[in-house]
């Protein structure tokens, strides 16, 4: 009993010696909270978001920069059901966060939040899953990214992404895997003029670039046919069309040179929004760089590789 | 705050000290101003150090205080605790006329002081110190789960929030009813 009283006295003494502070996170004005949230990494923001409704709305109002966001099906070989989705986020080049979702709906719950708050340097979507398409098409917000890469995505996903993009997007690359072209009712050649139409409708900024690789023929001719009334100039590798904005034109380039020829297994196209003042002499005709971004094998020298390999191993 | 070349703290304003004269060229004596917090302890701070605070800098520019006037009328910051104001003054003195470093290790680690410091710095509009403080606040929850964050920052759950709101409404209703009854009693 006496020891209890002593303890209590000691505690009371300590209490009276310590300064009493009442200020806490809840006393911070929202602008300060937002400033603090801005200094937090993604994981801490996710945790804070789960503490209370008020914190959730604050966290969701603060943008976060990601170096990379990669959404793809985990593996079509290992998981034949095709329902495993993998989301990987990299806030800086060396700081990654990734998660695999067995149920794509769980992945989308996260993705809706991530799209809402994320400002991506690179955003990569590699999936032809109907659930991904549906979710993207139903997403009502905007996607903010500098470069977007769409792999194995059909033209409806491309159109959905283009319509939801903020104007800060500099480039979109659509890389097609031959395996996915067998999808029922899929019209690969429709992509090119559909994309150009969206660029016209949304009046995309000068400099915006859309790159596409596909293994079906006819895109170039179909593009010409679709925009016959808008053509400013054309030759065998380029078509220039006018947009609804008198200051902007769209240039379609077909990637052809002495290495990548019409007989190559893939066709490469680049759509660019250019100034109406741009002269033909100012076109960038060197397609090697942008084709290499989509197909690293296009310029790969197999003879030299085999030669090096042979001499490296056997001599 | 200990007496320094840039400033002193005392219950009454101290005499300003003059900057040491250079052999090459005589320096212009620096102006000093005085501030006090809730505890009324007056801190003497150089104009150079006070440049960090957009609020005080604006007050000085707008009011056109002379040094004598400033000495007689210290800037009162009744909403800032004395020890917090001391920290702010120390920081301003340490970073007077210097480029601010990317990290500041001298900031308080205790959450209560840190939050008070954040509020004070926000009020005084010291942008760089506010940035450091906010970073420090963010560091408090590094690697923590939602439950841990709730505990560290005393964030009430939605259920607790709703209960507190209901309680407040109930109390307000009772008080209003009490006032009405008292008014009716007075009328009789």
Please report whether residue B113 resides in a domain: yes
B45 in Cβ contact with B95 (< 8 Å): no
What is the rounded CA–CA span in Å between residue B176 and residue B135? 44
A217 in Cβ contact with A268 (< 8 Å): no
- Secondary structure class of B28 (helix, strand, coil): coil
Q: Would you list which residues of chain B are within 8 Å, Cβ to Cβ, of chain A?
A: 83, 110-113, 115-116, 118-119, 122, 130-131, 134-135, 137-138, 141-146, 148-150, 153-158, 161
What is the rounded CA–CA span in Å between residue A174 and residue A160? 13
Q: What are phi and psi of A148, to 5 degrees?
A: -120, 135
Could you tell me the residue range of the domain that residue B124 belongs to? Answer: 9-155
Please report whether residue B25 resides in a domain: yes
Nearest to A27 among B115, B142, B144 (CB): B115
Q: Which residues of A touch B120 (CB under 8 A)?
A: none
Query: CATH code at B64?
Result: 3.30.710.10
Scanning every residue of chain A, which has its alpha carbon at the shortest distance from the alpha carbon of B141? A44
The 10s digit of each residue's pLDDT in B13-39 is 444 334 344 455 556 677 788 888 988
Q: Would you list which residues of chain A are within 8 Å, Cβ to Cβ, of chain B?
A: 19, 21-29, 32, 35-41, 43-44, 47-55
Nearest to A44 among B110, B138, B154 (CB): B138
Section B82-100 average pLDDT: 85
Residue-averaged pLDDT of chain B: 78
Confidence (pLDDT) at B3: 37
Q: Which residues of B touch A19 (CB under 8 A)?
A: 83
Helix (H) or strand (E) holding B35: strand B32-36
Please report whether residue B160 resides in a domain: no
pLDDT band at B108 (very low <50, low <70, confident <90, very high): low
Scanning every residue of chain B, which has its alpha carbon at the shortest distance from the alpha carbon of A49? B146
Please report whether residue B165 resides in a domain: no
Higher pLDDT, B2 or B96: B96
Select from B80, B107, B116 the residue whose CB has the most chain A CBs within 10 Å, as the one to mutate to test that interface: B116
- Complex-level ipTM: 0.75
- What distance in Å separates residue A44's CA from the closest CA in chain B? 6
Q: Taking 90 as the threshold, does the pLDDT of residue B101 lie above it?
A: no
Please report whether residue B169 resides in a domain: no
Of B41, B6, B37, B48, the C-alpha closest to B123 is: B37
Most confident among A75-84, A176-185, B123-132, B160-169 (mean pLDDT): B123-132
A33 in Cβ contact with B140 (< 8 Å): no
What is the rounded CA–CA span in Å between residue A202 and residue A196? 10
Mean pLDDT by 10 residues, chain A (315 residues): 47 40 83 94 90 92 88 57 67 67 68 84 80 81 85 76 75 53 40 86 89 77 91 93 96 90 85 94 89 82 74 63
Confidence (pLDDT) at B6: 39
Domain count, chain B: 1
To which residue do tokens 């906010």 refer? B134
User: Hey, where are the domains in chain A?
Assistant: 23-62, 63-314
CB–CB of A28 and B118 under 8 A? yes
Q: What are phi and psi of A209, to 5 degrees?
A: -130, 135
Please report whether residue B161 resides in a domain: no
**Other beta carbons within 10 Å of A21:** 14
Strands B9-10 and B42-46: antiparallel
What is the rounded CA–CA span in Å between residue A226 and residue A195? 12
Higher pLDDT, A189 or B178: B178
Please report whether residue B171 resides in a domain: no
CB–CB of A27 and B137 under 8 A? no
The 10s digit of each residue's pLDDT in B35-57 is 889 888 988 888 888 888 898 88
């Amino acid at each position: 009993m006496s020891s209890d009283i002593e303890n209590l006295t000691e505690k009371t003494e300590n209490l009276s010696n310590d300064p009493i502070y009442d200020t806490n996170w809840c006393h911070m004005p929202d602008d300060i909270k937002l400033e603090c949230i801005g200094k937090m990494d993604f994981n801490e923001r996710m945790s804070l978001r789960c503490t209370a409704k008020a914190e959730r709305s604050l966290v969701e109002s603060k943008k976060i920069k990601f170096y990379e966001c990669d959404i793809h099906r985990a593996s079509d070989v290992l998981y034949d059901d095709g329902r495993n989705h993998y989301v990987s986020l990299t806030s800086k080049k060396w700081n990654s966060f990734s998660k695999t979702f067995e149920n794509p709906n769980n992945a989308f719950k996260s993705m809706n939040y991530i799209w809402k708050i994320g400002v991506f340097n690179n955003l990569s979507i590699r999936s032809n899953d109907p659930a991904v398409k549906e979710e993207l098409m139903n997403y009502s917000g905007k996607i903010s990214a500098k470069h977007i890469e769409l792999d194995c995505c059909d033209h409806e996903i491309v159109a959905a992404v283009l319509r939801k993009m903020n104007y800060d997007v500099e480039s979109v690359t659509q890389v097609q895997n031959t395996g996915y072209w067998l999808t029922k009712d899929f019209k690969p050649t429709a992509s090119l003029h559909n994309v150009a139409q969206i660029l016209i409708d949304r009046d995309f900024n000068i400099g915006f670039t859309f790159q596409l690789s596909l293994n079906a023929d006819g895109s170039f001719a179909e593009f010409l046919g679709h925009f016959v009334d808008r053509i400013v100039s054309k030759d065998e590798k380029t078509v220039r069309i006018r947009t609804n904005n008198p200051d902007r034109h769209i240039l379609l380039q077909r990637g052809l040179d002495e290495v990548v020829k019409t007989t190559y297994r893939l066709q490469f196209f680049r759509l660019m929004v250019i100034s109406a003042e741009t002269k033909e002499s100012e076109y960038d005709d060197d397609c090697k760089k942008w084709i290499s971004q989509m197909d690293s094998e296009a310029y790969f020298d197999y003879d030299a590789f085999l030669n090096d390999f042979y001499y490296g191993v056997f001599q | 705050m200990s007496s320094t070349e840039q400033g002193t703290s005392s219950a009454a304003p101290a005499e300003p000290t003059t900057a040491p004269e250079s052999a090459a060229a005589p320096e212009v004596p620096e102006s000093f101003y005085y501030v006090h917090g809730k505890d009324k302890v007056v801190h003497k701070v150089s104009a150079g150090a006070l440049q960090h605070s957009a609020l005080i800098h604006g007050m000085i520019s707008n009011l056109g205080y002379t040094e004598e006037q400033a000495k007689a009328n210290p800037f009162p910051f009744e909403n800032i605790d004395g020890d917090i104001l001391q920290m702010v003054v120390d920081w301003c003195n340490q970073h007077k006329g210097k480029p601010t470093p990317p990290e500041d290790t001298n900031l308080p680690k205790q959450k209560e002081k840190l939050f008070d410091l954040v509020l004070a710095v926000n009020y005084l509009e010291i942008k760089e110190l506010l940035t450091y403080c906010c970073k420090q606040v963010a560091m408090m929850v590094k690697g923590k789960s939602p439950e841990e964050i709730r505990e560290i920052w005393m964030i009430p759950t939605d259920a607790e929030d709703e209960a507190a709101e209901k309680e407040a409404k109930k109390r307000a209703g009772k008080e209003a009813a009490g006032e009405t009854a008292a008014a009716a009693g007075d009328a009789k």
